[in-house]
Amino acid sequence: MWFGKESNWLRWAACLLLLGGVVACTTQNPLDDYEALTPTTMMEAPDGDPAAAGQDPEAAAHGKYLVVLLGCGACHTDGALVGQPRQDRRLAGSQVGIAYSNPLEYENPGVMFPSNLTPDPETGIGKLSDDQVVAAIRKGLDRHGLQRLPVMPWPAYAKISDDDVNAILAYIRTLPPVSHEVPRNVVPGKKADSPFVHFGVYRSRR
């Protein structure tokens, strides 16, 4: 995983014509302006209060297990993407985004910011219906019914069982609401004002 330190990091190789017709090329690794990080990939999920939320305790406990197993906190916890998770913002969204477009194509990549999963009505899922939350998990649909990019691995959750998806829903409904607004997503070509990480797999053409 790589962390973007500045927006204008992409510089192409420069070739200089020297005396005697010798061509010398100086190259720069396109990741020179990124630094390698070790993200927090697994972390304990926060406790909820099933009684206060009117949720079945057994279902909520199973949902908590699934949230830990699926690693939801690795993206949806502030600071986890850079290895510094904030315990007071577990599952409450991230100020660090995830770049999703090709760094060799866009000087400023598209960036998505993992959302707040707590029941806060203004910055989290508090105003979303159960169907909207389930659609986000299974189909990657946002609150407006638009398809989200697969930064969140919703294609892998498309066939999750009804019992499991309802357990996840029950669990996140029990969480204490955390007021934490994440930055707006950034389209490719626009400069992100907040930090982001970039990860992906590259294969040589040779």
pLDDT at 101: 84
Q: Do the strands 34-36 and 2-4 form a parallel or antiparallel pair, or are they unpaired? A: antiparallel
| Phi-psi group of 189: left, alpha or beta (phi > 0 → left; psi -120 to 50 → alpha; rest → beta) | left
Positions of the chain with pLDDT under 70: 1-34, 103-104, 199-206
- Intra-chain end-to-end CA distance of the chain, in Å: 24
54 and 42 Cβ atoms separated by less than 8 Å? no
* Span 6-31, pLDDT tens digits: 444 334 333 344 444 444 555 566 56
- Give residue 146's pLDDT: 82
pTM for the model stands at 0.81
Tens-place pLDDT, residues 145-163: 887 777 888 999 999 999 9
